[in-house]
Amino acid sequence: MPTQHAVVLGGGLAGMLAAHVLAEHVDTVTIIDRDELPEGPEHRKGTPQARHTHVFVEGGYTALEDLLPGIVEELTGLGAQRLNHPTTILMRTPAGWRERLSPEAGVLSASRALTDWVVRRRVLAHPRITVAAPATVVGLLGDRRRVSGVRLRDRGATDTRRLTADLVVDATGRSSHTHEWLAEFKMPTVHREHIDSGIRYSTRVYQAPPGTPAGFPLLVVQSDPHSNRPAVAGMLSPIENDRWIVTVVGPKHDPPPTTEAEYQPFLRGLPDPVLADLVAAATPLTPPHGFANTANHRHFYERARFWPDGLLVLGDAYATFNPIYGHGMATAALAARALRRRWQRHHPLLPGSARRAQRTIARVTEPAWRLATAQDLRLPHTTTTGRAPGKLARLNYRYADRMVAAIPGRPDILRTNLRVLTLLASPLRLFSPRMIWQVLRGPRGAYLPEVPLTAAERKILTPANGTTADS
């Protein structure tokens, strides 16, 4: 019987998880990446957003644990922080701070380098999986009926070589060329959407101040879409090695700074100065790193009139989200788990399997896509290749505002909202009759005017006057 071979383009998280699932069904899997994959938790060129805040929301890390049992414990053993809404994730909405209540839904917070390395180490331990890197894929083999491999160029080589495969998976991220390669097969162009809010990031890593209590919370200062600075926000996330990763966000006309001198004043200009008060006593470990490629972009390959056997596109190669919502890694894990379940029933190399798998990817991606694009379309400087928000969208925005306003004193609204945001539940749950009724009834309490830190956590605050909060 001929050897069954799959090729995965891209050695990031989505590619690694796809390779792991494929190794259960084919004889060999080759991962091709243009970078030499690091042997430790190090940044690499192929993940340009890796220096910024990354959280694995619970829906995603639950899927990751299903795929790689024990991986969450392995990550937390290396310092990743397991945090929960609204106990150790403190959120400031435009109306004020949420109360600290019993945990409802969580995130896993770590550097992207650590997460990628732990997953990569587990996946590459599989005897059926090998890596060809550094190498660049320059085209597909086959035709519009079936993809039969790739053409690639090894680093330093002038000539290309052919690598045949029964299935090619494109997980190359935002730099994907699949739409161009399909055009070479004379395939019709598929529908694409591009929604760009113009958001910019800037991130610094700090050593937490001496005396920072264990289990320090993650803090988010949300933007206020109705203010005169509608896209300015900030986030502080505890990560491994007693560090904090701090990301500030702003629009292209009011961008967050990438210079050390301007960073602290920008933090202090957020709707609440708590992040500035916290990092004032922390030690900066990196300069601010900027990032501007935050557009939402999706190729609707599942809508193609016909689709070649032997080709699948997933991860950021299929759909990218504004990273501020923290759904990219989670969607990759959810997609890999959904593919595993599909392929346990229908072998990935059967005729028509690639098209059905592409539709599976679309279904899994849809919730995160809707959440990200709906929020970005609210911002005044967003550009889109699709339709501008209509009456229904504006009605949804008003409903979302009322829902957030109604959260105090209504735990069911908070619980449902958090389960949707962490991809544990469908966004449709927000529109159930029970939810609508509670939202219309309004709040039974109020948001807090100040951040609800414990006494031990408050000790490390350094307000603008330079004294600690308890002095």
Strands 28-32 and 5-9: parallel
Comparing CA positions, the residue from 286, 371, 336 lying closest to residue 16 is: 336
φ, ψ (nearest 5 deg) of residue 220? -130, 125
At the topology level of CATH, where does 5-48+111-193+296-374 sit? FAD/NAD(P)-binding domain (3.50.50)
Comma-separated ranges of CATH 3.30.9.10 domains in the chain: 55-71+78-110+199-291+387-471
User: Looking at the DSSP assignment, which residues form a beta bridge with residue 109?
Assistant: 55, 81
pTM: 0.95
> Which residue spans of the chain are classified as CATH 3.50.50.60?
5-48+111-193+296-374
DSSP 403-444: HHHH-TT-HHHHHHHHHHHTTSS-GGGGGSHHHHHHHHH--S
Indicate if the alpha-carbon torsion angle 280, 282, 285, 290 is positive or negative: negative
Task: Name residue 135's amino acid.
Answer: A
Digitized pLDDT (tens) for each residue of the chain, 471 residues in all: 578 999 999 999 999 999 999 999 999 999 999 999 999 999 887 676 778 899 999 999 999 999 999 999 999 999 999 999 999 999 999 999 999 988 899 999 999 999 999 999 999 999 999 999 999 999 999 999 999 999 999 998 889 999 999 999 999 999 999 999 999 999 999 999 999 999 999 999 999 999 999 999 999 999 887 777 878 999 999 999 999 999 999 988 889 999 999 999 999 999 999 999 999 999 999 999 999 989 999 999 999 999 999 999 999 999 999 998 999 999 999 999 999 999 999 999 999 999 999 999 999 999 999 999 998 998 888 899 877 788 888 899 999 999 999 999 999 999 999 999 999 999 999 999 999 999 999 999 999 999 999 999 999 998 865 555 554
Q: Please check whether residue 37 is in contact with residue 14, taking contact to mean a CB–CB distance below 8 angstroms.
A: no
The tokens for 371 are 């959440």
How long is the chain?
A: 471
Tally the C-alpha atoms within 13 A of residue 315's C-alpha that lie toward its C-beta: 26
User: Which CATH architecture best describes the domain 55-71+78-110+199-291+387-471?
Assistant: 2-Layer Sandwich (3.30)
Place of tokens 């992040």: 275
Look at the alpha carbons of 425, 431, 437, 442 in this order and tell me if their dihedral is positive or negative: positive
* pLDDT tens-digit map of 50-83: 788 999 999 999 999 999 999 999 999 999 999 9
